[in-house]
Amino acid sequence: MPVTIVVPQLGESVVEGTVGKWLKKEGDAIAKDEPIVEIITDKINIELPAPSAGTLGKITIPEGTVAQVGQQLGVILAPGESMPAGAAPGAGAGASAGAAAAPPAAPQRVPTPDAGAPQRGAGAPTGTALEEPQSADGRVSPAVRKLLKEHNLDLSGIRGSGAGGRVTREDVLTHVEAGRVAASAGGKPPAAPAPGAPGRAAVPAPAAAQAPLKPIPGPSMVAPGSREEEVQPLSNVRKKIAENMVRSRHTAAHCATWDEVDMTALVNLRGRLKEKIKATYGVGLTYMPFIMKAVVRGLREFPVLNASITETEAHYKKYYNIGVAVHRDSGLIVPVVHDADRKTLLQLAQEIEDLGGRARADKLTLNDIQGGTFTITNAGMFGATASTPIINYPEVGVLGVHLIQERPVVRDHRIVIRQMMTLVLSFDHRLVDGTPAVQFLHRVKELLEDPESWLLDSI
Amino acid sequence: MTSPIAAYDLGRIAYREALGFQHRAVSARAAGAGEDAIYFAEHEPVLTVGRGGTPESLRASDAMLKARGVEVVPVERGGDITYHGPGQIVAYPIVALSALPSGRDMHRYLRDLEEVLIRALGTYGLSAGRRPPYTGVWVGERKVAAIGVAVRRWITFHGFALNVDPDLTHFDWIHPCGIRDLGVTSMRSLLGSAPPRAEALERLCSSFAEIWERPVTKLSRLPDSSSTPSSETLHA
């Protein structure tokens, strides 16, 4: 009798593990208790011992896939045994030794993390149809057989929507109902529904008696009912991002306020300076150093936003380490410009450029991403005109900067075209009241709208 | 459960040597020949990559590591990349899970290892703790001990690395692995001076005894490094 290898109970709080390495290949001889496969959970790697001696008949769950406790990982065959015809023994949760010999409950193509649950997508007529005989072979459940008998029907003409095109109870009821509707309209029971709408009753139009209607063609590119999905394990970076995002959302009392900023003066100023600065210092002058300067000034006036909060304490930071969110293909990261208040605009420009480059090349050091006191995120780089960022916990504020674009605005009772940008401040309402948040944002707006008023003392 | 757990200090030993030693000790213990034991060690700088690790986790260049003679060793424990080096106390408990309070509850085993460290650090007046969902032991926002464990035939191996007085800049060799990972620290940074190694080992041993509810023998050196528990190898 083939013996299934299942994920054992590994602790009260353990419900799943990732299949690490298969230490044996299909066809390898196995001694009882010999380690055959690694299950990785948290920081533990458990080598599962073989439940019996024999050969590894089949690997059900490949490396890198998450498996639930109780789920079948593979099958061990006793000497002389071969895999049962039709392969894949039932792969349900709780499958225990011996269960492999039972007929499969449903075909299972791709093991998924929730393989213990019935697969929804597998019910589509495509794909599985090849592996499972059509309903024509009469394989229906006893309940369906009973229902067919009650209505004096046979399977012909009933379109199956179940696994492998099997006829389900609903299909029979739909068929009967459709027949009734058609009959009351004076027509014959309809044939199988139009392709592209499997299992759904084609309800005839009231005037169906006359010319036959053309079925509505479906898109030709896509197989009808395709439910293709790609399952990828999360990278460590992605897991960490997910953790941080959820922790912030669950802990901070997020609140957002926004304002429109007239960036025309700054756009002109930067336009005048950038070529020269690039030629002289080799540094690209973006808006970010100006925004960072304005933010630091704002934070000085509203220190509650340059802080962090615990359950019992507020920590007001007397230094200004400003994080700048950077997009990487592997996932978001927030390098920090340390002591931004003590650096000139050009130094900031250079440092932001350097941090961004190193972030994308994955060359940041621990120090580069630690110690932030406030964060700026630029969704405008990719064209967003507004967004509400998630606070970089345990900080209490994050400023979202956006696309600068010409918009009509009213000045002195006239509509004029100005370079406008939406600024959004997300703040932790546990520590930051609405008034200082709005005042801080307004202050940043004022500074950005009139850069000459303050640039002289920061260069 | 009153049979004692042996405690040995392997001293300064190359990582690969200690790894081979662990494999032999696990085989011996699984075969019923060995004893439950905790082996303490200290390594030359080395980076080990657990099963949760990816190549991107490594930040230092190959050339730099080569110049410093730092090896990158893939290992079978759980977890990501970890640094080991002088100034750390590395502990390898090679113990039958069935003979521990945790039994085969793997998370309990991890939490118990953390508790051993937390209590030992407590004797130095350090208020160390956990930071769920991370594994390891932390003081404030910084990690003072890393944990990564493997189990073969229900015998534990690998274990923890406690930063007593390592060169913390070496941790820059590995990826901070997230948007805002938490930093590392050492007992020296926290206390102002590093405690003597022998004393720290002793306190860890009494902490093990407390948590595992079994006596731990007085720390000794292995009589002869070649007389490792058994030469039987599973993974030759």
Q: Is A372 part of any domain?
A: yes
* CA A77/CA A30 separation, integer angstroms: 10
- Per-residue pLDDT at A151 exceeds 50: yes
Chain B CB contacts of A330 under 8 Å are 56
CATH pick for B6-212 out of 3.30.930.10, 3.20.20.70, 3.40.640.10, 1.10.3720.10 = 3.30.930.10
* CA A39/CA A23 separation, integer angstroms: 11
- Per-residue pLDDT at A299 exceeds 60: yes
A40 & A171 share domain: no
Look up residue A108 and give its DSSP letter. -
Look up residue B166 and give its DSSP letter. -
- A364 touching chain B per CB within 8 A: yes
User: Which has more confidence, A303 or B142?
Assistant: A303
- Per-residue pLDDT at A103 exceeds 60: no
Of B51, B59, B104, which has the smallest distance from its Cβ to A45's Cβ?
B51
Instruction: Provide the number of CB pairs (under 8 Å) joining chain A to chain B.
Output: 127
A352 & A243 share domain: yes
pLDDT grade for B85, boundaries at 50, 70 and 90:
very high
For residue A371, give the chain B residue with the closest CA: B180
For chain A, the domain total comes to: 3
Q: Is A221 part of any domain?
A: no
Whether B149 sits inside 8 A of A334 (CB atoms) is no
* CA A155/CA A153 separation, integer angstroms: 7
pLDDT grade for A117, boundaries at 50, 70 and 90:
very low
User: Which of A276-285, A361-370, A400-409, B14-23 has the lowest average pLDDT?
Assistant: A361-370
- B111 touching chain A per CB within 8 A: no
Q: Give the mean model confidence (pLDDT) for residues A94-113.
A: 38
- A35 touching chain B per CB within 8 A: yes
- Per-residue pLDDT at A137 exceeds 90: no
- B130 touching chain A per CB within 8 A: no
**Catalytic one of B6, B31, B96, B177:** B177
Q: Is A371 part of any domain?
A: yes
* CA A303/CA A399 separation, integer angstroms: 15
pLDDT of residue B63: 82
For residue A19, give the chain B residue with the closest CA: B51
Q: Give the mean model confidence (pLDDT) for residues A382-392.
A: 93
Q: Is A100 part of any domain?
A: no
Q: Is A108 part of any domain?
A: no
* CA B198/CA A270 separation, integer angstroms: 63
CB A182 within 8 A of CB A209: no
pLDDT grade for A41, boundaries at 50, 70 and 90:
confident
Amino acid A291 reads: I
Chain A CB contacts of B178 under 8 Å are 236-237, 240-241, 243-244
User: Which of A78-87, A271-280, A429-438, B112-121 has the lowest average pLDDT?
Assistant: A78-87
- How far apart are the CA of B158 and the nearest CA of chain A, in angstroms? 10
Partners of A309 in beta bridges: A314
Task: Convert the pLDDT of each residue in A314-360 to its tens digit.
Answer: 999 999 999 999 988 888 889 999 999 999 999 999 999 999 998 88
A289 & A360 share domain: yes
- Per-residue pLDDT at A419 exceeds 50: yes
- Per-residue pLDDT at B174 exceeds 70: yes
pLDDT grade for B116, boundaries at 50, 70 and 90:
very high
Element (H, E) at A359: helix A345-360
Whether B109 sits inside 8 A of A43 (CB atoms) is no
User: Which of A70-79, A186-195, B65-74 has the lowest average pLDDT?
Assistant: A186-195
- A69 touching chain B per CB within 8 A: no
pLDDT of residue A114: 42
- B82 touching chain A per CB within 8 A: no
- B142 touching chain A per CB within 8 A: no
- A247 touching chain B per CB within 8 A: no
A287 & A369 share domain: yes
Task: Convert the pLDDT of each residue in B35-61 to its tens digit.
Answer: 899 999 999 999 998 877 766 667 777
User: Which of A133-142, B52-61, B164-173 has the lowest average pLDDT?
Assistant: A133-142
Whether B147 sits inside 8 A of A334 (CB atoms) is no
Highest-pLDDT range among A42-56, A200-214, A287-301: A287-301
Among B77, B106, B173, B234, pick the best mutation site for testing chain A contact (most A Cβ within 10 A).
B106
pLDDT of residue B128: 94
Whether A236 sits inside 8 A of B178 (CB atoms) is yes
A156 & A44 share domain: no
Q: Is A91 part of any domain?
A: no
- B104 touching chain A per CB within 8 A: yes
A199 & A240 share domain: no
Q: Give the mean model confidence (pLDDT) for residues B14-21.
A: 93
CB A17 within 8 A of CB A7: yes
Whether A33 sits inside 8 A of B175 (CB atoms) is no
Q: What is the mean pLDDT of chain A?
A: 79
pLDDT of residue A238: 85
Highest-pLDDT range among A52-61, A71-80, A282-291: A282-291
pLDDT of residue A162: 66
Q: Give the mean model confidence (pLDDT) for residues B202-215.
A: 95
- B112 touching chain A per CB within 8 A: no
Tokens of B91: 């502990």
A345 & A261 share domain: yes
Whether B78 sits inside 8 A of A42 (CB atoms) is yes
pLDDT grade for B107, boundaries at 50, 70 and 90:
confident
Q: Is A97 part of any domain?
A: no
- B64 touching chain A per CB within 8 A: no
pLDDT of residue A346: 92
The domain spanning residue A180 has which CATH number? 4.10.320.10
* CA B30/CA B96 separation, integer angstroms: 8
Domain of residue A21 covers 1-83
The domain spanning residue A387 has which CATH number? 3.30.559.10
Q: Is A110 part of any domain?
A: no
- Per-residue pLDDT at A51 exceeds 90: no
- Per-residue pLDDT at A201 exceeds 50: no
Among A36, A43, A333, pick the best mutation site for testing chain B contact (most B Cβ within 10 A).
A43
Chain A CB contacts of B108 under 8 Å are 11-12
Among A45, A322, A333, pick the best mutation site for testing chain B contact (most B Cβ within 10 A).
A45
- Per-residue pLDDT at A288 exceeds 70: yes
By C-alpha distance, which of A329, A347, A339 is closest to A285? Answer: A347
Whether B151 sits inside 8 A of A369 (CB atoms) is no
Whether B76 sits inside 8 A of A47 (CB atoms) is yes
Q: What is the mean pLDDT of chain B?
A: 85
* CA A29/CA A292 separation, integer angstroms: 65
pLDDT grade for A232, boundaries at 50, 70 and 90:
confident
- A321 touching chain B per CB within 8 A: no
CB A56 within 8 A of CB A36: yes
Q: Are strands A44-49 and A35-41 parallel, antiparallel or unpaired?
A: antiparallel
HEC sequence for A39-59: EEECCEEEEEECCCCEEEEEE
- Catalytic site residues of A? 429, 433
Chain B CB contacts of A20 under 8 Å are 51
* CA A385/CA A262 separation, integer angstroms: 14
For residue B234, give the chain A residue with the closest CA: A34
Look up residue A252 and give its DSSP letter. S
pLDDT of residue A16: 80
User: Which has more confidence, A397 or A143?
Assistant: A397
User: Which has more confidence, A375 or A237?
Assistant: A375
- Per-residue pLDDT at A96 exceeds 80: no
For chain B, what are the domain ranges?
A: 6-212
Cis omega before residue A394 (within 30°)?
yes
User: Which of A196-210, A344-358, B73-87 has the lowest average pLDDT?
Assistant: A196-210
Last residue of a domain, one of A160, A187, A206: A206
By C-alpha distance, which of B91, B123, B95, B121 is closest to B109? Answer: B95
Q: Give the mean model confidence (pLDDT) for residues B3-17.
A: 93
Last residue of a domain, one of A35, A55, A83: A83
Whether A42 sits inside 8 A of B76 (CB atoms) is no
By C-alpha distance, which of B181, B178, B172, B177 is closest to B61? Answer: B172
Phi, psi (5° rounding) for residue B174? -110, 155
pLDDT of residue A136: 42
A195 & A260 share domain: no
Chain B CB contacts of A66 under 8 Å are none
pLDDT grade for A44, boundaries at 50, 70 and 90:
confident
pLDDT of residue A336: 94
pLDDT grade for A428, boundaries at 50, 70 and 90:
very high
Last residue of a domain, one of A59, A83, A107: A83
pLDDT of residue A456: 74
Element (H, E) at B74: strand B71-74
